[in-house]
Structure 1
Amino acid sequence: MRKFCFALLLFICFNSTGQTTINSATFGMMEARHLGPGTMSGRITAIEGVNEDGKTLYVGTAGGGIWKSTNAGASFKPIFDKYCQSLGSIAIDQKNPKTVYAGTGESNMRNSVSIGNGLYKTTDGGDNWIKIGLDSTEHIARIAIDPKNSNTIYVAAPGPLWSDSKHRGLYKSIDAGKTWEKILFINDKAGCAEVALDPGNPEVVYASTWEFRRLPYMFSSGGAGSGMYKSVDGGKTWKELTNGLPGKPFGRIAFTLAPSAPSNLVAIVESSETGLYISADGGESWKKQSAILNVVARPFYFSTIVIDPKDEKRVYRPAYTFSFSVDGGYSFAEAGSDGVAVHADHHALWINPNNTNQLYLGTDGGIYYSLDKGGTWFFAQNLPVGQFYHVAVDNKTPYNIMGGLQDNGSWIAPSAAPGGVNNAHWLTINGGDGFWVQPDRNDPDIVYAESQGGNINRINIKTTKAVGIKPQQVAGEEKLRWNWNTPIVTGVAGKKNLYIGAQHLYKSTDQGRNWKRISPDLTTNDKKKQEQENSGGLSADNTSAENHCTIFTIAESPLDENMIWVGTDDGNLQFTEDGGKTWTNTAKNYTAAGIPAQTWVSSIEPSLFDKNVVFASFDNHMYGDHNTYVAKSTDKGKTWTMFNSSEFTGFAHKVKQDLVNKDLLFIGTEMGLFASVDAGASWFRMKNKVPDYSLVRDIQIHPTTHDLILATHGRGIIVVDDISPMRKLDLAIANKEVHLFANDPIKLTTGTFGGGALGADGGWRGGNPPSVPPIQYYLKDRVASGKVVVEVYDANGKLVQSIPASNRRGINKVYWNLRSKPPKTASGGSKMDYGGFIAPMVLPGEYSIKLKIGDKEYPSNITLVHNDANKDFTMEDRVQQHKVATDIYNMHEQLAKTVDDINARQKMLKENITRVKSKKVKTLLEEYHTQLETLRAECLATKQKSLFADEVRLRERITDVYMAVSMEESVPGNLQLERVQSLKQELTKVEQTNAALTTKYYNKVKDALVKEGVIKDEKPGLEVRKGN
């Protein structure tokens, strides 16, 4: 009770009147990087194009929102990041093509399908969206707009997958979505799976209903509620279509009509005689045409069939593969050229009605497009919508990120690369449905990757050799039960330990060559939940996706390798303190905190700070419960306290405690990323360029870079660089007007200077992290007026750099490049000079910082240290490099001073030539101007007229050696040192010549101009200096 009161008091303190609210905006400058990959994308659920141009596309994804292209797919941009990321259907009002409807909630009803929260509408092409209802439908399969009346819209809603619901059926609006009427409803178990309108007479409406249900351990497709219906009065009355169709019960019915001959219908009917059926009379009668397995397989997952808009005989069937018919469905052939295949599992197809050669195909691996009716295909590698389940990192520099993708194997990529992480940096290391990937804690070349059903491989990423190491059933033992998403974990406290879970926990200490079973059956072992061979309903479907009574999550305490926690998919939460000899089940304890029994334990997080403390997340959505369940125990599971927040949306996948600040917590759910800086007393949704409702499946924190790494199920890998500001912000700081954070010592580094492959618009490229730590400060409120700058001074009080800074509320970051101000270089000439873009690296030592806001100053200090990681560059080398770079820096400044002097004199002479009357004086001025121009032309390029005309003068020669010496950590070589000395001599010669010209012409010009009356004696009309 005392703990509860303290948490309540802390919550009140954070939210009382006058106190600052900490939310995502507080950390607004901590912007995420999206690393993809795009080379392997994710499931595409909807594709629609604007008919009138054929170039504007809207693409809906299973968990990555909506992406728009205005150039036929050459590039895409996300336009739905503030809303639910799971899309079931998109429809464009072709009469007003900026009006688009988006139905959330994918309807390919597999076990891992996400949920939606209603129907959205935009009237400006996706810039702004509003929700227009149907919030509780959870899944929307199709949207149909009356082609003659844009106000009339039909929405087919299959409804919830995991529970009965009245929010199913076919809905209609006659006021463009303001109000809705349910016009076809069968029962709480059967929803509407498809709707289509006769384009010539849109009062004719066709719809199919589907009875289905999933439970964690089975799937059933089919029942009395499934059927095919037709209305001829806009849905007021309905007729069930049965003539020629097989006997009931039906399962899912996918159908379409021919736009050019709308009385022709083609349907895939799931039943005891599943097949393709055709009708030539508007559905009044049907005839079975095909039962080819590839055409009719897995009706619950492959629910798309499309007829060419101009040719009613050409029928496309996107399914496991892409097949087509040219005879109205009598026969089918595989599309694609010989030896070239697109990714399997197809769910969406758009055909340009004005050019039916142009096809866009949505698969489990992304988008393909064809310009020859599917004969050949191009893959769009610019959609980073991969569906990761888990993520792990290693300790290399830069560290590697690895994880498994839905239907797309396991992948690995560096967290940073020259020019940014792009598709080429992502390497596939394992096949199947990718789930867990774990690095070996001792051998940096070894990783472990698991695909569905516990199929674990040990992989050498250098040699690419993979060895299967899955534990096998021993004679006399019961069959091993492996979850579809079987957990594999490498130890933290015990770095040789490798764990994998079936219904028993297995441990290996020799990289999986040998395994030891260290537990009894840790599940409920409910035999009623182990009948997966009967799963599927009318179409048997047993792919291990429904395997149940299995271990789902494993966690070794980072403080004690003998303390291991295990969570199961049927609600057990057990731990051992003796390496597996004895086990304690805490399931009954967490239910006392309000978490339903038999809930999936989705993640376990033993604390790094206290081995009595453990966090756990629970997922009950497979019983129709979408609440966010996350809890904490401080007594090894005896009692639990559940976290609550009105901010939470979506069922929980992962809870993560920070590695440094025990009060900093993160939760990843099916609909967002959430953070708490006060041990869970209050929570806020993290945005920070993370889509608001991201499907966050896993979270890691890197121990040295302090990055937050997210595995999202629809937006690939997302990295929030350096979360240390979140660790530092507490209530006292949050209520200060301004706070300048102290910096840890910073290692000097030159960072990176670009590079990498050029992918144009056809590939994906994620950004790099900053190469140096930021200077960070907090503003309670936005600075409304006055400049904000950060000034850096050396130990002698000399200004090193002045850096413009942000005035936004919350944590702000300023990046000092650890260099002084760039030199002033000689101005003018006909060629750009790069010497003024870079300054020498400063030396290690103490520096002071001033944050200036208007007339107020906030001081701090920063320590720079030599980077010992570069063994080829010692402290002595750094001092030598700095000395030489500073010498060249000064040469640039000296030359700039001389050229400025020349420019000023030439300007004066040119102005006065037109003023004097004496020809003799004019000749004198022109002569001086010419001599100065000759000297100026020795200093910098003056005649370059094309991009490739390389006129190199003294300025360019100084820049050449300056850039070579200053950019990277390296000791100047002998030839570079010799070059510096020769350039010093050239500079001295230029200065001497300038001084000689001054001596020769100064008094002559001055006296002549005084005599001409252009200037008065000793007045500043002749702005020249005698020498330098």
Structure 2
Amino acid sequence: NISAIAESPKKEQLLYVGTDDGLLQVSEDGGGHWRKIDRLPGVPSDAYIARIRASQHDAATVYVAAENHQNGDFKPYLLKSADSGRTWKSIAGDLPERGSTYAIAEDHVDPNLLFAGTEFAAYWSRDGGQHWTRIAGLPTIAVREIAIQKRENDLVLGTFGRGVYIVDDYSPIRTSTAATMTSAATLYPVRDAVLYVPTVPYGMPGKGFQGEMFFTGDNPPYGAVFTYYLKEGLKTLKEKRTEAEQAAEKAGQPIRYPPADQLRAEANEEPPAILLTIASASGTPVRVVTGPVAKGLQRVAWDLRAPAHQLPPNRPRSELDELFGDPLVGPYVVPGEYRVTLSQRVGGVVTELGGPATFKVVMDPQAAHTMADQDARWRFQEKLQALRRDIAGSLELASSTTTRLEAIVKALDATPAAPRALHDQARGVQKRLNAILVAVRGDRSLGARSVPMPVAISERANTISNELNRSLARPTATHEQQYQIAMELFAPERAALRQLVDTDVPAIERELDRLGAPYTPGRIPRDSAALFSSTLARAAAFSIRQ
């Protein structure tokens, strides 16, 4: 039975046919006459011809993948002929001895870049089959078919029972050499990134509320994709110690309990990090993204945005946050030329490892926006981001000051010597702070009851940002007007908050110190000896009065 067939893309009427009993047939006249090949070197005579692949680069070159698992033989059999099947050589190289071969493919740019599918994994070879590297990220499964999407340089792997896997843009492998694979780190060339606003077809991220029965596949990552290679991964001090202890145990050597200084250093260590720093063509830093620190080929995407106006909350984002919350993203950058460098941060010291690699951010060719639109959008969003940063910082400061004032009021209640005027002063500051919060973020007590309220300053600024985050258009006249209103409303509230935080609250805290009140957050504790002497003096005065 015929099990494989291939037609040469370079020479018309050159055909290859393989059968399930180990035979190959070659026709150079479109099937009029056939030449039989009944022996392949090193391959059992009755092996199954799983795949034939005629070269895209040379008319006389052809590849064959054969397997013999039906007879209990799981060796890989990959062969290449450079003379239309007259002579053959094995290109199985250093593939694992156990792993039948089912598929082979040749890169459409580099004839020495090959891909193979086996019983347990997929592999790539940069040197025509002498050495093979396993493709990471796949489950342990038989890879039965390999196809290449030439426009995008995507490798498509068909598995036996586990679906289809796509390796997006494998072109960095083409530039891999023995030198790059032995160097400490390599940053590969970066493909130009297309700037557009990703759609949300189900109204929310992913598949929204469609349920688990609704199947969707992941798209390639949006933005500029950076690929880099680490010969060795970055490890923490604890990981290094653990590996050394495991090696000592395996060698039968004693394992000593680490000294206190070493344990302290491990506990206080900042985890190592890989940093990819993006800058404009003029060298202005635009964004820093972090990447995996494990050894091998790694990939990370930049979403073509500037940094967000504030840090994310110090807690994991919940599912509701992902669906309805502020995504906390910065504005899209403008099209143009950018460059990226690869660095590592170990022990707080940043060391450059590779780059810079230059790439372009280009507009979607179907978009109607001009560069003038993009420049206007960026200039407006820069000042909008500055306003949102000030608002977010003011709200954070007001929130922490609220906590300070709540503690101050409790401390005053616990201080019998505190005069009533100081109580009133603290509560008056609380009321003024609450009024600032209502103006900036809105009245939450009324909002929870769906009572109509004036638009808060933060809501005004956030609405503008949310609308522009879903578009690449220049700001409208309404956006400009609302921004100006927010700026004018926010200025007096910020001044009032500064007066309250810089002057009013510290004045109350100084009185608390003088009265020996319990400690409250935000105060630097007084010298205990001086405080004790002051307390003794007040106690003595109280005794004399008695």
Does the 8 Å CA contact 1:655/1:668 hold for their aligned counterparts? yes
Shift of 1:917: 2.9
What's the offset of the Cα at 1:647? Answer: 0.6
Give the match for residue 608 of structure 1. Answer: 56
Q: Tell me if structure 2 keeps the 8 A contact 1:654–1:668.
A: yes
Q: Please identify which structure carries the higher strand content.
A: 1
Matches of 2:312 and 2:107, distance apart in 1? 51
Which residue matches 1:387? none
Contact 1:620 1:627 in 2 (8 A): yes
Higher relative contact order (CA 8 A, sep 6+): 1
Q: 2:129 aligns with which of 680, 690, 713?
A: 680
Amino acid of the structure 2 residue aligned with 1:840 = P
**Maintained 8 Å contact 1:795/1:848:** no
Letter in 1 for 2:457: L
Q: Which residue of 2 aligns with 1:940?
A: 441
Query: Residue in 2 aligned with 1:788?
Result: 273
Report what 1:988 is aligned to: 488
Q: Any conservation in 1 of the 2:102–2:143 contact (CA below 8 Å)?
A: yes
Counterparts in 2 of 1:10-409, with a 5 A limit? Answer: none
| Aligned match of 1:967 | 470
2:4 matches 1:558: no
Q: 1:897 to 1:984 in 2, by over 3 A?
A: farther
Corresponding residue of 2:310: 824
- Asked if 1 retains the 8 angstrom alpha-carbon contact of 2:235 and 2:272, the reply is no
Q: Specify the alignment match of 1:214 in structure 2.
A: none
Query: Which structure shows the higher helix fraction?
Result: 2
Letter of the aligned partner of 1:956 in structure 2? E
Q: Does 1:739 align with 2:186?
A: yes
Q: Tell me the secondary structure at the aligned position of residue 383 of structure 2.
A: helix
The question of whether the paired residues in 2 share the 8 Å contact of 1:792 and 1:799 is answered with yes
Aligned residue for 2:165, secondary structure, equals strand
Query: What is residue 657 of structure 1 aligned with on the other side?
Result: 106
For residue 427 of structure 2, what is the aligned residue in structure 1?
Answer: 926
Counterpart of 1:852, as a letter, is Q
In the TM superposition, what is the alpha-carbon distance from 1:765 to its structure 2 partner?
5.0
1:587 maps to 2:79: no
The corresponding residue for 2:264 is: none
Cα distance in 2 for residues equivalent to 1:687 and 1:1013: 62
Distance 1:652 1:561 in 2: 28
Q: Determine whether 1:857 maps to 2:306.
A: no
Structure 1 residues 743 and 700: CA distance shift in structure 2, 3 A: same
Equivalent in the alignment of 2:138: 689
CA distance in 1, matches of 2:378, 2:501: 40
Per-residue CA deviations over 1:884-918 (Å, capped at 9, x if unaligned) read: 33332222112124334544655565555545833
Q: Matched residues in 1 for 2:179 and 2:186: separation?
A: 10
SS of equivalent residue, structure 1 residue 567: strand
Report the Cα offset of residue 962 of structure 1. Answer: 0.9
Matching residue's letter, 1:558: P
Q: Deviations over 1:300-358 (max 9, x none)?
A: xxxxxxxxxxxxxxxxxxxxxxxxxxxxxxxxxxxxxxxxxxxxxxxxxxxxxxxxxxx
Q: How many Å separate the matches in 2 of 1:937 and 1:697?
A: 64
- Give 1:599 shift: 4.8
Structure 1 pair 957–586 and aligned structure 2 pair: CA distance change class (3 A): farther
- Tell whether the 8 Å contact from 1:849 to 1:862 is kept in structure 2 after alignment: no
Matching of residue 847 in structure 1 with residue 298 in structure 2: no
Counterpart in 1 of 2:299?
Answer: 813
**Counterpart of 1:774 in 2: which secondary structure?**
strand
Q: For 1:628-682, what per-residue CA distance to the aligned partner results, in whole angstroms no more than 9, with x for missing partners?
A: 3321011222211023446143543321112333222222244543433321113
8 A contact 1:749–1:867 mirrored in 2: yes
CA contact (8 A) 1:652 1:667 kept: yes
**Residue 978 of structure 1 aligns with which residue?**
478
Structure 1 unmatched runs, 5+: 1-547, 1016-1020, 1024-1028
**Aligned residue number for residue 667 of structure 1:** 116
Q: 1:929, 1:729 → 2: CA distance?
A: 64
Q: Deviations over 1:381-439 (max 9, x none)?
A: xxxxxxxxxxxxxxxxxxxxxxxxxxxxxxxxxxxxxxxxxxxxxxxxxxxxxxxxxxx
Q: Give the match's secondary structure for 1:628.
A: strand
- The CA RMSD measured in Å over matched residues stands at 3.9
Aligned to 2:543: none
Per-residue CA distance 1:539-559 (angstroms, 9 max, x = gap): xxxxxxxxx3xx443323333
1:773, distance to aligned residue in structure 2 (A): 4.4
What amino acid is the match of 1:770?
P
- Give the TM-score normalised by the residue count of structure 2: 0.71
Distance 2:311 2:91 in 1: 60
1:664–1:825 CA distance, 2 compared to 1 (3 A): closer
User: Is 1:716 aligned to 2:184, yes or no?
Assistant: no
Distance in 2 separating the partners of 1:948 and 1:657: 66
**1:707 aligned to 151, 154, 157, which one?**
154
Cα pair 1:628 1:648 within 8 Å, conserved: yes
Partner SS for 1:837: coil
Asked if 1:647 corresponds to 2:96, the answer is yes
CA distance in 1, matches of 2:490, 2:208: 43
- What SS class does the counterpart of residue 378 from structure 2 fall into? helix
Secondary structure of the residue aligned to 1:804 is strand
Q: 1:1011 to 1:607 in 2, by over 3 A?
A: closer
CA 1011–853 in structure 1, closer or farther in 2 if over 3 Å, else same: closer
> Contact 2:224–2:303 (CA<8 Å) still a contact in 1?
no
Output the CA distance in 2 between the equivalents of 1:655 and 1:1003.
Answer: 75
- Give me the identity figure in percent: 23
In 1, Cα distance between equivalents of 2:182 and 2:273: 20
Tell me the CA shift for residue 575 of structure 1.
4.1
Q: 2:213 and 2:312 mapped to 1: Cα distance?
A: 41
1:798 is displaced (CA, Å) by 4.1
Structure 1 residues 571 and 756, CA gap change in structure 2 (3 angstroms): same
The residue type equivalent to 2:333 in the other structure is: V
- Whether the aligned pair in 1 keeps the contact of 2:3 and 2:50 (CA below 8 Å) is yes
Residue 942 of structure 1 and its aligned partner are, at CA, apart by 5.3
**Residues 1:927 and 1:808: Cα distance change in structure 2 (over 3 Å):** same
- Cα distance change on mapping 1:739 and 1:942 into 2, 3 Å: farther
Partner Cα distance (1:905, 1:764) in 2: 48
Change (3 A) 1:941 1:659: farther
Unaligned runs of 5+ in 2: 237-270, 315-319, 516-521, 525-546
For residues 737 and 846 of structure 1, what CA distance do their matches in structure 2 show? Answer: 24
The answer to whether the 8 A contact 1:655-1:667 is kept is yes
Match of residue 382, structure 2, among 870, 880, 886: 886
1:706 and 1:925 map into 2 onto residues whose CA distance is: 67
Alpha-carbon distance in 1 for matches of 2:511, 2:75: 94
8 Å CA contact retained: 2:15, 2:31: no
1:59-114 Cα shifts (integer Å, max 9, x gaps): xxxxxxxxxxxxxxxxxxxxxxxxxxxxxxxxxxxxxxxxxxxxxxxxxxxxxxxx
CA distance in 2, matches of 1:683, 1:826: 43
Give the whole-Å Cα distance in 2 for the aligned partners of 1:885 and 1:622.
Answer: 65
